[in-house]
Structure 1
Amino acid sequence: MSFLSRFSRTQLIIGGLLTYATGVSAALTFFPSGAKTDPNAKDTDMLPSESVRRSIFDTLAPGYDKEVGLHEYLLGIQRRRKRLLQQATGRVLEIASGTGRNVDYYPKGCCGEIVFSDFSEGMMEVLKRKVEESELGRRWDYQRRRGKQLEGERRAQLRHQQQAGDMATATTTTATTAAAQPTQVVETELRFQTMNAAAIPYPDQSFDTVVDTFGLCSFEDPVQVLKEMKRVLRPGGKLLLLEHGNSSWGFMKDMQAKQLDRHVHKYGCYWNREIEEIVQEAGLEVVEEERSQLGTVYFIVAR
């Protein structure tokens, strides 16, 4: 029996919540905040630029899953990812996919296509390997190979009949085979796109679902990114968000503010943004919202 299996999920979640608060408190106590002393300095003067943060993500990528895995488990983040992605349908664009921590939570057959994207090449490399090894990736690979096999068999049969001089039969067989085979043999088409989410390289109304989990904290202009997500959504489509944001508890807000520069330099993440205000400013309509982990984790479905 493993150590974690000795405890109930409720105990683990409560323990994770306490660990989270204690960890932030310890960071505040034992590490200097690096706060600026110049009262005339702008808030962003000491914070890394977008290019620097991209380098941070590239550096974090190889060990990122190991670093955040236990933390997410204890806080119930995996369960929230799974619940969020139950609503993914049709053609899906996932923004800021990172190392692919959502890959295992897409329901089988939920979507005709999933486009995974990120602006960090390092994160994308880890993501592609993870997809290849996942059930989602194995199904995709099998369907692609099966499609090629069926096409090869059809062409071979056609060549054989042509060589036999039976062109009429060949034409009839081709039409029958084409009608019998589905036009799309791949269960879920998977694609990868390295891109800047502030300028999504797809036309208006291209996707049925747009997913972003813990990405708004890392964008230079989160409002612009949300406007881009809204632009590429089809009428009736859904925007699925699971985000870090400013706490609803005063003492936690203070800790997040005091440790902001350190957190951004380490993780490239502005962890105390006002997510609700950002979503509203982008012109999105919220249809479902929930906050947890002392109000620092936002679960939002919008359109």
Structure 2
Amino acid sequence: MFQSFRTGLHIVPKFPQANVIKIQHRNLLVNRQYSLLISKRVKLQCRKTEFFNSRKYSTKNKDESSDIASKLSEKLVKFGLYLNSKKYQRMQAKILTCVFVCFLIYSYFFFGKYEAKRRFSKNIELRKEFQAWKDYEKVVNGKDVTFDDLKQLSALRFKERTLKILEFNDLMKQRREDAERRKQEAMETGVFRISEHEKFANVLSERLNVLEARINDFLLKTDSLNFNLDHLIENLSEEDLDKPISEYENLKYESMFHADKMRTREVLKLAQYDYMIQEYGDDTFDGYSIPNYQSIKKTLSERGLPENGEDDKLLQKIYELEDIHKVMPPMDTVNFFEDKATEYDSSIKKEEYIFINGQRKKLAKKLYGDCLETSCGTGRNIPYLDLVDINSITFLDPSQKMLETCKEKFENFNDKFSKVAYVKGKCEDLVNDENENKMKYDCIFETFGLCSQKDPVESLNNMAKLLKKDGRVFLLEHGKSSYESVNRMMTKSMDKRLEHWGCRFNLDIGEIIDDSDLEIVSEERKHLGTTWIYTLKLKDDKFEDIEKAQ
């Protein structure tokens, strides 16, 4: 009975349910212990594999790095030996030969164009020099210069150089005689021994010869104070010199050497001239000038040339160029800025923070004396003003709300500065010719105002009327870019720009200044040419200056 109890046999069959529960419980415990043991073994095995794999990879990387270093050193040694080998020298000779052959081919095909460009530019320069000399002689001496006068002047200058050379040779001869006399005196007095004195005399004569050669070379050169007369006579005939420079020749010369300073109308005109030359061989433009912003169709009709059709690629390029340089028509934007005054500073602050604030600061440092700011807006230049050099300042703007914001900003900036005035008005309507007792200013400055004015040329003319004789106008404006791709994007977005900021931001500022009564002192462009920085002055009377100099 005890044996059967140990083995779990049930002698008394009254309680079968209790025995079944014990068996299930024991089996459950055994299964749980077995599963825990299995999980521990699996975790341990995973850790072992991770450890061995990490060691395997680390040793592998070390082996690879050592292999790379050894291979690199071997390659460097082989490369050094290759550089000293005959094979490399032959390859180098082949490369140099190919480069030389390519240079010869390039010279054969393009040297003619280069030579034609050089001859054209030299022709224009010489003719400009001759015309400038003619104008000078006519104003100062009242004399009409001819080609014969040019020859006589060249011969006269040659005679002058010859006389100078003869005088110098006489001087050198006299110095040699003095040196020989001193030699004889030294030999008689016994100051020098003969060998030492001969050595001294030889060195002196050599120095004199070198000096004589250098001065002769200098004197034989033509006088370059005004222009090279001999070069003019050799390269140009009388007909060429007297022939006036046409508009096409001026534009072509500017495109060769000053393409970055060409105005929009000059670019369009030159494109039309080039089209007529390429398509029709029309190269006689003497006395002919294309009006500003005239279309190619009108130019062709004036010259009596037929259009080659809409499928002409060159004609399509000119049409595209004309579309790129289109601007919005002039308009009055006062109402726009009245509505925009309260939020103008906060909305434009991010746009100007990186690029424009530094330029505003540079402009403000140039101000002195009595100053006038036109199109002052909300007074965004006020934080950069240095009131030590400024005697008085006047703020002008057509928007009353913006002028009030400017006044509040200046009072917060310096409420003790009393010589300040705020004027509501447009710069185009600022000056009346009848008012002779108008205020004059030492400095007039404007930042990003021409783009929102209806007549910017008239605005600049009014600035000229209000400027003192030695005064300056400082402009910081935005306009067309120096790159056609940027201009294309600006033309596409000019409607949105006008709607959002109330300005025509793709104007050619240089053209506006050229059409005004002001003269450029300095011109600078930044930010792909879209930011124009100018210092202007009153146009001088050239004839009056010449009379004063005389």
For the aligned pair, the TM-score class normalised by the smaller chain equals: 0.5 to 0.7
Q: 1:48 to 1:265 in 2, by over 3 A?
A: farther
Residue number among 399, 407, 423 corresponding to 1:193 in the alignment: 423
Which has the larger displacement, 53-62 or 200-209?
200-209
Q: 1:139 to 1:235 in 2, by over 3 A?
A: same
Q: Are 1:272 and 2:506 matched, yes or no? A: yes
Aligned-partner Cα distance in 1 for 2:511–2:451: 13
Q: Are 1:138 and 2:418 matched, yes or no? A: no
Cross-structure match for 2:452: 218
Deviations 1:123-149 (A, max 9, x none): 112111111111xx3232xxxxxxxxx
Cross-structure match for 1:249: 483
Cross-structure match for 2:399: 120
Aligned-partner Cα distance in 2 for 1:103–1:297: 20
Report if the CA contact (8 A) 1:92-1:114 is conserved. yes
Residue number among 368, 371, 375 corresponding to 1:89 in the alignment: 368
Report if the CA contact (8 A) 1:205-1:231 is conserved. no
Q: What aligned pairs does 1:19-168 form with structure 2 within 5 A after superposition? A: 49-50=331-332, 53-75=333-355, 77-134=356-413, 137-140=414-417
Report if the CA contact (8 A) 1:286-1:300 is conserved. yes
Aligned-partner Cα distance in 2 for 1:83–1:279: 21
Aligned-partner Cα distance in 2 for 1:247–1:234: 32
Deviations 1:162-218 (A, max 9, x none): xxxxxxxxxxxxxxxxxxxxxxxx5xx111000110021475561111011100101
Amino acid at match of 1:234: K
Aligned-partner Cα distance in 1 for 2:520–2:364: 17
Report if the CA contact (8 A) 1:205-1:235 is conserved. no
When the two chains are superposed, the root-mean-square deviation of aligned CA atoms in Å is: 1.8
Aligned-partner Cα distance in 2 for 1:207–1:54: 25
Report if the CA contact (8 A) 2:373-2:393 is conserved. yes
Amino acid at match of 2:429: A
Q: 1:266 to 1:47 in 2, by over 3 A?
A: farther
Aligned-partner Cα distance in 1 for 2:382–2:480: 27
Report if the CA contact (8 A) 1:48-1:265 is conserved. no
Amino acid at match of 1:109: V
Structure of greater relative contact order (alpha carbons < 8 Å, 6+ residues apart): 1
Q: 1:48 to 1:206 in 2, by over 3 A?
A: closer
Q: Larger C-alpha radius of gyration, 1 or 2?
A: 2
Report if the CA contact (8 A) 2:331-2:453 is conserved. no
Amino acid at match of 2:524: E
Q: Secondary structure at the match of 1:287?
A: strand
Q: What aligned pairs does 1:202-241 form with structure 2 within 5 A after superposition? A: 203=437, 206-241=440-475
Q: Secondary structure at the match of 1:139?
A: coil
Aligned-partner Cα distance in 2 for 1:299–1:288: 8
Aligned-partner Cα distance in 2 for 1:78–1:71: 10
Specify which structure has the higher proportion of helix: 2
Specify which structure has the higher proportion of strand: 1
Report if the CA contact (8 A) 2:330-2:455 is conserved. no
Report if the CA contact (8 A) 1:85-1:106 is conserved. yes
Aligned-partner Cα distance in 2 for 1:221–1:94: 17
Deviations 1:89-121 (A, max 9, x none): 111110000000011111131211100010011
What residue ranges of structure 1 are gaps of 5+ in the alignment? 1-42, 141-185
Cα drift, residue 235 of structure 1: 0.3
Report if the CA contact (8 A) 1:205-1:234 is conserved. no
Deviations 1:260-294 (A, max 9, x none): 12211221101000001111110321111211111
Report if the CA contact (8 A) 2:376-2:446 is conserved. yes
Aligned-partner Cα distance in 2 for 1:90–1:249: 38
What residue ranges of structure 2 are gaps of 5+ in the alignment? 1-325, 538-550
Report if the CA contact (8 A) 2:330-2:454 is conserved. no
Aligned-partner Cα distance in 1 for 2:440–2:330: 33
Runs of 4+ in 1 over 3 A off after TM superposition: 46-49, 201-205
Cross-structure match for 2:312: none
Q: Are 1:281 and 2:281 matched, yes or no? A: no
Q: Secondary structure at the match of 2:347?
A: helix
Report if the CA contact (8 A) 1:222-1:278 is conserved. yes
Report if the CA contact (8 A) 1:56-1:266 is conserved. no
Cross-structure match for 2:492: 258
Aligned-partner Cα distance in 2 for 1:239–1:80: 15
Aligned-partner Cα distance in 2 for 1:248–1:283: 25
